[in-house]
Amino acid sequence: MPSSPSSAHWLSLVGSIWLQTINGPNADFPVYSSQLKDLKHISQVQLNFLAFASDAGKLFGWFSGVAALYLPLWLVAFVGAAFGLVGYGVQYLFLDSAGLQYWHLFLLTSLAGNGICWINTVCYLLCIRNFGSSSRVAVSLAASYLGLSAKVYTSLADSIPGLADSKAKAYLLLNAVVPMLVTVVVAPSLRVVDLTTGGSTDAAFLVMFAITLATGACAVVGSIGSTSNGLSSREHMVSLGVLLATPILIPLALRIRESLNKIRETKRENRIHDLGTDAIDAIERVVAIDIADVESKEGDDSAAEKPREEVGGLRLLRKLDFWLYFFSYMFSGTLGLVFLNNLGQIAESRRLAQTSTLVSLSSSFGFFGRLLPSFLDYYSAKSGYSISRTGSMASLMAPMAGAFFLLLKPSDLFLYLSTAVIGTCTGAITSVAVSATRELFGTENFGVNHNVVVTNIPVGSLCFGYFAAYLYQRGARGSHRCIGAACYQQTFVAWGAACAVGTLLCAALYARSRSFAGRLPPAPAPGGAVVRTSSCLARLANLVCRW
C-alpha cells in the first residue's frame, strides 16, 4: 500500500492554511494609505516608498530559508510573527507622535515585510515535506488562502466595535496582533512527520476543495454585499470565520479512522497469535520480497520525477533560466502586486468612496486565482499528466496585460472588472511560482532559492511603483492629490506593455524547460509487485478466516 498523509500531516496543512490566511497584512495598506498620507504629511512618492518598504523586507527573506535548515519550523514561524508584532506594533503606539518620523515608518514596515517571508517559508516547507507526491496540491491549497488576507483584515476592522474610528491605527493594530495570536494557536502542528502506509486521502482533498470553494464564495458575496449595504459586516465575519475553521474537521475525521483501523488490527493479531510459526514465516518471506519489489519500483519512479539537476548557491545566478524566470515574474506577478498596492490612490483619483470594497474584491478573486493551480494539479495527476508551471504562468500573463489596457476606460465597471482579472492572475502566478521554483531548480535548496527568486518583488515594486508615483505627482500639478482618469493613464499603458514583455519572456522559459513536465511515471502493471503482494495478503486473510 502506498504512503499517504495521515491526520498529523493534514493537521500541519490546516495550520499552514490558517497562517497563510493572516500572512498578508501588507495587503490592507491601500485601505488606510490615504489617511496615513494625511496624518504624516507625506507626498505620493514618499507613500509609494512605504509600500515598497514592505516588499524591501523580502530582499533578506533568504535568511528564513537558511534558518529553516537549522531551527524547528515552529520557531521560524514565531520569528516571523515577532517581526510583524514589532514592525506594526510600534507604528500603532506612536503613529500620532511627531517623534515617529518617516524613516522610522520605512524601517518598521521593512521589518514587518521580512516577517512575512519567514512564515511563508514555514508553510511551503511543511507542504513539500509532509505531502510527498501531493505536495503541489498542498502548496497551492495553502497559498490560496494568502489571497484572503486583505478580506479578513478589512472584515475584522469593519466588524469589531471601536476599530473604525481611525483606519490607520485599526489596521496597524490588527496587522501586529493577529499573526502572533494565530502562530501561538498553530505552533504545535508545525512539524514534519514521516509519511505512513495507510488508506487513500483523495476524499480528504475533495472535501478540502469543497470547503475552500465555499470560503471563496463567502468572501466574494461579502465584497458584493458591502457594496450594496445589504449584508452586516459582523454577520459576514462570523460566517467567514466558521468556514475558515471548518478544515480542522478533516484531520479529526482521519484521526478517528486511524484509531478504528488500529482497533481492527489489534483484533486481527489476537486471532492469529496461535498460527504455526512456519506458516507465518513463509508468508512473511513472500510478502517481504514483494514489498521490496514495490519499494524498488517506487524508488525508480521518485528518481524519474526529480528535476534535471539540483541548483543552489551562486550556481543559481549563473543560470539563464533563473534570469528569464526572475524578470518574467517581476513583469507579471510583481506588477500585479504593485497595482494592488496603488488601489487606494487609483480609487481616490476616480472619486470612489469605498476603497475597502475594491480591496476586498481584489483579495477575493486573488484567492480563487491562487486556488486554481491546486485544482489543475489534482486532476492532471489523476489523468497521469503534469502541467508545466512555466507554461501555466505564461498563459496567465496574457489576460493580465489586457486588463491593464482595459483600465484606460474611465468607467467604474472596467475598474472593477480589471481589478478582478488582475487579482485572479496575480494570485495564480504567485501560487504557481512556488512549484515552478521546485520544477526548475529542485527541492534541496528550495527554502533559499525561492526567497532569492522573490527578491524581484522589491526590485519591481521600487521601479514600477516609483514610476507610477512620479506620474501621479506630476499630474497633481503641485496639489496634494490628483483627480481624474488621466492620473494613471500613462502608468497603465507602461504596465500593460511590461506585462506583455513578461509574457514573451515566460514563453521563452517554457520552451527551454518544457521537458520537466511530461508524462508522469506509469503505474505498476496489473501483474506486477503490487498485485503479487496483494495476493499474498489475501491468502493470509483467507487462512486466518479458516483458522
CA distances from residue 321 to 6, 355, 373, 436, 449 in whole angstroms, order as listed: 36, 39, 22, 11, 13
- Cα distance between residue 284 and residue 540, in whole Å: 10
- pLDDT, tens only, 401-427: 999 999 998 888 899 899 999 999 998
Other Cβ atoms less than 10 A from the Cβ of 308: the count is 13
Residue 516 is predicted with a pLDDT of 56
Question: What is the tally of helices (H) and strands (E) in the chain?
Answer: 24, 2
For domain 316-517, give its CATH number from 3.40.50.620, 1.20.1250.20, 3.40.50.2300, 3.40.50.300: 1.20.1250.20
C-alpha cell belonging to residue 156: 475584522
Identify the burial level of 300 via C-beta atoms within 10 angstroms of its C-beta, where 0-12 means exposed, 13-18 middle and 19 or more buried.
Answer: exposed
**What CATH code is assigned to 1-267?**
1.20.1250.20
Q: What is the predicted pLDDT for the residue at 3?
A: 53
**316-517 has the same fold as 1-267:** yes
Cell of 12: 500541519
The cell numbers describing 72, all together, are 524547528
Residue 196 confidence (pLDDT)? 65
Cell (9 digits) for 129? 515535506
pLDDT for the residue 219: 83
Q: 28, 148 in Cβ contact below 8 A?
A: no
Domain boundaries, the chain: 1-267, 316-517
**What is the separation of C-alpha 247 from the centre of its chain, rounded to a whole number of angstroms?**
16
Q: For residues 419 and 405, what is the distance between their CA atoms, to the nearest angstrom?
A: 12
- Any bridge partners for residue 385, and if so which? 519
Q: What is the pLDDT of residue 432?
A: 87
Q: pLDDT by residue (tens digit) across 147-199? A: 888 888 988 888 877 665 678 888 999 999 999 999 999 999 998 887 665 55
Q: Say what the pLDDT of residue 358 is.
A: 82
Collect all residues with Cβ–Cβ distance below 8 Å to 100 and sequence separation of at least 6. Answer: 90, 91, 94
How would you write the pLDDT of the chain (547 residues) with one tens digit per residue?
455 567 888 999 999 999 999 998 888 888 888 888 888 888 878 888 888 888 888 888 888 888 998 999 999 999 999 999 999 999 999 988 888 899 999 999 999 999 999 999 999 899 888 887 778 788 888 888 988 888 889 888 888 776 656 788 889 999 999 999 999 999 999 988 876 655 566 788 889 999 999 998 888 777 765 544 445 677 778 888 999 999 999 999 988 988 888 888 777 777 666 555 555 554 444 444 444 444 444 444 444 444 456 776 678 888 888 899 999 999 999 999 999 888 888 888 888 877 777 887 888 888 888 888 888 777 776 676 677 888 889 999 999 999 999 999 888 889 989 999 999 999 889 888 888 888 888 877 777 888 888 889 889 988 998 898 888 888 887 777 788 888 899 999 999 999 999 999 999 999 888 765 544 444 334 333 333 333 433 443 344 334 3
What Cα–Cα distance (Å) separates residue 492 from each residue in 33, 179, 403, 464, 476?
20, 34, 9, 11, 17
pLDDT on residue 544: 36
- What nine digits make up the cell of 473? 505627482
- Predicted confidence at residue 312, as pLDDT, reads 67
Residue 378 identity (one-letter amino acid):
Y
290 contacts 529 by C-beta, under 8 angstroms? yes
**Nearest CA among 288, 300, 103, 73 for reference residue 192:** 73
